[in-house]
A and B are shown apart, each in its own frame.
Chain A
Amino acid sequence: MTALRLTPPLLLGGRRAGLMIERNLYVYRRTWIVIFSGFFEPLFYLLGIGFGLGALIGTVTGPGGQEISYQLFVAPALLASASMNGAIMESTFNVFFKLNYQKTYDAILSTPMSVGDVALGEIGWALIRGGLYAVGFLVVMALLGLWASPWLILALPAALLVGFAFAAVGMAATSFMRTWQDFDLIQLVILPLFLFSATFYPLETYPEALQWVVRVTPLYQGVDLIRSLAVGHITPVLLVHVVYLAAMGLIGLAITNRRLGKLLLK
Chain B
Amino acid sequence: MEKFNAVFRFGITPLFLFSGTFFPIESLPAFLQPIAWLTPLYHGVALSRGLSLGTAAEEPLLMLAHAAILVAFAAAGAAAAVRTISARLVRG
Chain A interface residues toward B at CB < 8 A: 31, 34, 37-38, 40-41, 44-45, 47-49, 52-53, 55-56, 93, 97
Q: Which B residues are CB-close (under 8 A) to A53?
A: 22-23
A48 with B2: CB separation less than 8 A = no
Evaluate whether A52 and B22 lie within 8 angstroms (CB atoms) in the complex, with A31-B2, A34-B5 already known.
yes
A56 with B23: CB separation less than 8 A = yes
B18 with A41: CB separation less than 8 A = no
Q: Which B residues are CB-close (under 8 A) to A47?
A: 17
List 7 tightest A-B contacts by C-beta distance, closest first.
A48-B17, A52-B23, A53-B22, A34-B2, A53-B23, A37-B9, A44-B13
A87 vs B17: C-alpha distance when bound (angstroms): 23
Interface of B is mostly: helix
Give min CB distance, A223 to chain B, whole Å: 19
Choose one: A31, A37, A52, A55; the contact of B17 (CB below 8 Å): A52
B9 with A41: CB separation less than 8 A = yes
Q: Which of B1-54 contact A (CB under 8 A)?
A: 1-2, 5-6, 9-10, 13-14, 17-18, 22-23, 27-28
B23 with A44: CB separation less than 8 A = no
Q: Which A residues are CB-close (under 8 A) to B23?
A: 48, 52-53, 55-56
